[in-house]
Chains A and B, each alone.
Chain A
Amino acid sequence: AQTVTQSQPEMSVQEAETVTLSCTYDTSENNYYLFWYKQPPSRQMILVIRQEAYKQQNATENRFSVNFQKAAKSFSLKISDSQLGDTAMYFCAFVEETSGSRLTFGEGTQLTVNP
């Protein structure tokens, strides 16, 4: 069965500092896609970053980057220069290429950025 684990239910960081959110997953397939979604207090699910498992290069999107370790099945999110607007619940998720749209989510990490 597909599983995603986020071991940090809550984290906090000072504004302008860097924070890393952890995520591990389990799959027997070789081709899959990994995502980080952000859910601010508005409850909207917003895509932060996406990584294809076949790509060795870590994805980056402005202040957001990932550390993808395929052998270890680890997919952490680094937020640099944290801003107050980064305060949100962050979900790690993945989908196997063969399943199409079946996303499996982790439990979420509530990140608070303090001024």
Chain B
Amino acid sequence: EAQVTQNPRYLITVTGKKLTVTCSQNMNHEYMSWYRQDPGLGLRQIYYSMNVEVTDKGDVPEGYKVSRKEKRNFPLILESPSPNQTSLYFCASSGWTSGGQVDTQYFGPGTRLTVL
């Protein structure tokens, strides 16, 4: 089954304790992204990756790091989490259609993060 998986699904942590949220896709997609969802703001992009070893900042990158060492994995790292990073996080992936068009983004199930 084609899917994007995220772990953990729920996480409660304390300020300053480093954490990693993993994301993996089995569709051989080149593009992967991280978003955060906050009430009234929709989804905002944190970082994205066009392919292995190619990453770039989205709209709200402060306080986050990413890496893309393998095509299927795109972990999100919070080195020193703060309460304002409490949010719902989504990983997504997409590729190109055979006609060279941007394909639809497929989303993981989300990770609910609470930073105390």
Contacts and interface: CB of A to CB of B under 8 A. Distances in A.
A103 B33 contact: yes
Given A33-B101, A33-B102, A50-B104, A100 B50 contact: yes
A43 B102 contact: no
Given A44-B107, A45-B90, A50-B104, A101 B32 contact: yes
B41 A101 contact: no
A91 interface: yes
A101 B33 contact: yes
Interface residues of B, number: 27
B88 A43 contact: yes
Interface residues of A, number: 25
A101 B94 CA distance: 7
A75 interface: no
28 contacts: A4-B42, A33-B101, A43-B88, A44-B109, A44-B110, A45-B43, A47-B104, A52-B101, A91-B42, A91-B43, A93-B43, A95-B102, A97-B102, A100-B94, A101-B31, A101-B32, A101-B33, A101-B92, A101-B94, A101-B102, A103-B43, A103-B105, A104-B45, A105-B42, A105-B43, A105-B44, A106-B42, A107-B41
